[in-house]
Each structure stands twice: as structure tokens, then as C-alpha cells.
Amino acid sequence: MFRYVVRRLLQMILVFFGTTFIVYALMFAGRSDPIQALAGERPVSPQVRAQLTEQYHLDDPFFVQYANYMANLLRGDLGTQLSGRSIAGILQQAWPYTIRLAAISIVIVVVFGITAGIIAGIRRGGIFDNGTLALTLLVIGIPVFVLGFFAQYLFGVRWKIFPVTGGAGTFYALLLPAIVLGALSLATAIRLTRTSIAENLRADYVRTARSKGLAGRRVVGVHVLRNSLIPVITFLGVEIGNLMSGAVVTERIFNIPGVGYQLYQGILLQDGPTVVAIVSILVIIYLICNLVVDILYAVLDPRIRYE
């Protein structure tokens, strides 16, 4: 197991370089005029343009720029935006919001998703099951921005239960955005868990356990649950990263100054360094989550061995 983990950590380095390269290339390919993007609709004088091009090496060939960027990144220097602001400083302020938002979201998804999935799986065809199906449809069929603005208006403006914006950063301010953000993941987790549980409940070993006289609680809680959780955990492991990178719309609606906003602005303003910096950190998070999930497989299923 130890060697496995070490191998994975080494492979992480490869993945890190692979992803940052692709994203950097995408930003570069999509870049037309980041300097003009800075000034918006106002004109940019040739002097300013020349100055900024020089300062940020915008005219250098692709590989030179990439090599420079990666060299700096590995030294910990995330660079500055074209507007002069330090990217590290920006991210330092933005990441806590996104992490908090994603954490609250994933907790909601895990707790409510798995619980509801279990109940729905046990009572297949019942009211609860059909209810969760309806909820799933609602959440999938209604895109996140509709859900978000609607929830904001209903719960923030009309009924005043939650604050309209999540900018305060407190648990309570982030709760509604977290629910909106996690809604789709919640629906998928419920469906996955329900299916898994329903399948496993029909397994022979369950019949055996029951006929042996084990209490239903033990059958489900100890045996069925463990078997059912593998696909769900697989899904959730990836969701943490997805929640962070996909929070663009939610952060916009609830005015949360997190990483999603910076990513969106970075893409729009053709700001390669910012986007790649954010993606680098996201990649590391994905990699760690995947590693944890793979280790969890071994825990849940003793037949899975890593050497």
C-alpha cells in the first residue's frame, strides 16, 4: 500500500504538468488581445500597449512563455495580472470562500444525499422514492442559474430567511448558495445510492442474513451499506473538485468573492496566469481526492489490493 501511495504521488506530478500545459495552451490559443481586454471599450495607446507587452512578455513564443511561467510557478511565484495585482494575493483572499462553500455543499450532499438514497432504496416505489425522483428531475431540469436567482429572490428578498448575498462568508450566509451549488450533486447522489441499495437488497447474502435472524438494521447498516457505497464514493470524490471549479454561476448570483469568479474573469479577460494558477490548485485537489477515494476502495472491499 505504501509503495502504491508513493507511486501515485509521483504520478500526480505528471498529471500536474499535463493539465497546466493543456490549460495554458488553451488560454494561449484563445488569446486575442488581453491588453485591450484590460481597458474594455476604451482605446489603448500604443505606448501603454508596448509597455505592457514588454513587461509581461506577451510577444514571446509560446514555449518560452510557458517555460517562464512554470519556472516561476514551481518557485511559488504565481505572477501578477496584467492590471498589476498579485495573483497570489488575489487567490489567498478568494480560496477560503470557495473552500468553505464547497465544504458545506459536500457535507449537505453526503448527509442528505446518502440518507435520502438509502430510504428511497429501501422503500422502492414508495412515496419517498417517487418524491426523490421528482426532486431529481426538478434539479436537473432547472439549470443552476435559474435555481439560484429563484432561491435568492424567494428566500432572500421575499421571505428574508437567508441573506441575499453570501459575501459575509459566514456559515449561514453560505448555506443557501451551498444548497444551490450542491443541488445537482445531491440529486445524483440520491439516485446512485438508491440504485445501489435497491440492487444489493436483492442479493442472496441479504436473504441469508435475514433468514439467519439478523435485525434489518444490521443487515442494511453493516452489510448492504458497505457494498452500496463504492459507486457513490467514486462519484463524490470527483464532486468536490467539480463543486469548486463549477461554482462560477453560484458565486456570481450570491456575490461570493471566491475562486469561481476569478476563474470566470480570468477566462474572459484572457488572463492566462490567473487561470492556470487556479487550475493548478484545482488539479491538486482533484488528485488528492481521487487518491483518497482509491484508498477507500481498499478499505471498503478487502479483495481490492494495491501492491
Partner 1 sequence: MNVRRLAAWIALPAAVALGVSACGGGSDTGGGSTNGGTVSVNLGEPEHLVPSNTVESEGHQVVVSLWTSLVNFDGEGKPVFDQAAAESITSSDNRTWTVKLRDGMTFHNGEKVTADTYINTWNYAAYGPNAQIGTDFFSRIEGYDDLQTGDSPNATPKAKTMSGLKKVSDTEFTVTLSEPFAEWVKVMGYNVFAPLPAAAYAADGTLKPDFENAPIGNGPFKMKGTWNHNQNITVERYQDYSLTKPKVQEINYKIYQSQETAYNDLLAGNLDVQRVIPTSRLASAKNDLGDRFRSTPSSYFGYITVPSYIPAYNKPQIRQAISKAIDRNEIITKIFAGGYVEAKSWVSPVVEGARDDTCGDACVFDPTKAKELWTQAGGVPGNKLPLYYNSDGGHKEWVDAVCNQLNKNLGVQCVPSPVAQFADLRQQARAHTLQGLLRGAWSFDYPSIENYLTPLYATGAASNDSQYSNPTFNQTVQQGDAAPNTAEAIQKYQAAEDILAKDMPTIPMWYRQNNFGFSPNMKTVDLNLFADLDVLTLERN
Partner 2 sequence: MSEANAGDPVSSRMRGPGAARRGMSELEAMVTAEGHPGSGPGADNGSFIEPGQAAEVVPARARSLAGDAWRDLRRSPIFWIAGFLVVLLVTMAVVPRLFSSINPRACDLSQSLEPPSAAHWFGTNLQGCDVYSRTIYGARASIAVGICSTLLAGLIAVLIGMSGGYFGGKLDAVLSRVLDIVLGIPLLLAAIVFGRSVAAETDLGIWPVVLVLGVLGWTTAARVIRSSVIAAKQQDYVQAARMLGAGNSRILLRHILPNALAPMIVVLTIALGAFIATEATLSFLGAGLKPPTISWGIDISDAQARFQDAPWALLFPAAFLALTVLAFIMLGDAVREAFDPRLR
Give me the residues paired with residue 86 across strands.
Answer: 80
Site residues (CB under 8 A) for partner 2, limited to 250-279: 263-264, 267-268, 275, 279
Sign of CA dihedral 87, 90, 92, 95: negative
The phi, psi pair for 164, rounded to 5°, reads: -65, -40
- Nearest to partner 2 of 213, 302 (CB atom): 302
Cα(270)–Cα(267) distance, integer angstroms:
5
Q: How many residues does the chain have?
A: 307
Three cell numbers at 210? 435475514
Q: How many Å separate Cα 182 from the centre of its chain? A: 10
Cα(136)–Cα(108) distance, integer angstroms:
15
Choose from partner 2, partner 1, none: what does 5 bind? Cβ within 5-8 Å by kind: none
Q: Does 135 bind partner 1 (CB under 8 A)?
A: no
- Nearest to partner 2 of 149, 257 (CB atom): 149
Nearest to 228 by CA among 305, 130, 117, 106: 117
Site residues (CB under 8 A) for partner 1, limited to 143-182: 149, 152-153, 156-157, 160-161, 163-165, 167, 172
- Nearest to partner 1 of 17, 149 (CB atom): 149
Give counts: helices (H), strands (E), the chain. Answer: 15, 0
Choose from partner 2, partner 1, none: what does 176 bind? Cβ within 5-8 Å by kind: none
Minimal distance, residue 286 CB to partner 2, in Å: 5
Choices 60-68, 200-208, 248-256, 288-296; region in contact with partner 1 by CB under 8 A: 248-256
Minimal distance, residue 57 CB to partner 2, in Å: 21
Site residues (CB under 8 A) for partner 1, limited to 89-108: 90, 93-94
Neighbour tally for 32: CB within 10 Å: 7
Q: Does 217 bind partner 1 (CB under 8 A)?
A: yes
- Nearest to partner 2 of 81, 245 (CB atom): 245
Near partner 2 by CB under 8 A: residue from 89, 143, 216, 221 = 143
What residue has cell string 486575442?
Answer: 32
Cα(175)–Cα(162) distance, integer angstroms:
8
Near partner 2 by CB under 8 A: residue from 152, 188, 262, 274 = 188
Q: Does 112 bind partner 2 (CB under 8 A)?
A: no
DSSP-assigned letter for residue 223: I
Minimal distance, residue 273 CB to partner 2, in Å: 14
Near partner 1 by CB under 8 A: residue from 16, 66, 69, 254 = 254
Sign of CA dihedral 162, 119, 299, 291: negative
Binding mask 284-303 for partner 1 (x = CB under 8 A): --------------------
Cα(167)–Cα(177) distance, integer angstroms:
10
Q: Does 244 bind partner 1 (CB under 8 A)?
A: no
In 3-state terms the chain splits into helix, strand, coil percentages (rounded to 5) of 75, 0, 20
Choose from partner 1, partner 2, none: what does 67 bind? Cβ within 5-8 Å by kind: none
SS3 58: coil
Residues that bind partner 1 (CB under 8 A): 32-34, 36-45, 47-48, 50-55, 83-85, 90, 93-94, 111-112, 115, 118-119, 122, 149, 152-153, 156-157, 160-161, 163-165, 167, 172, 216-217, 220-221, 251-255, 257, 261, 268-270
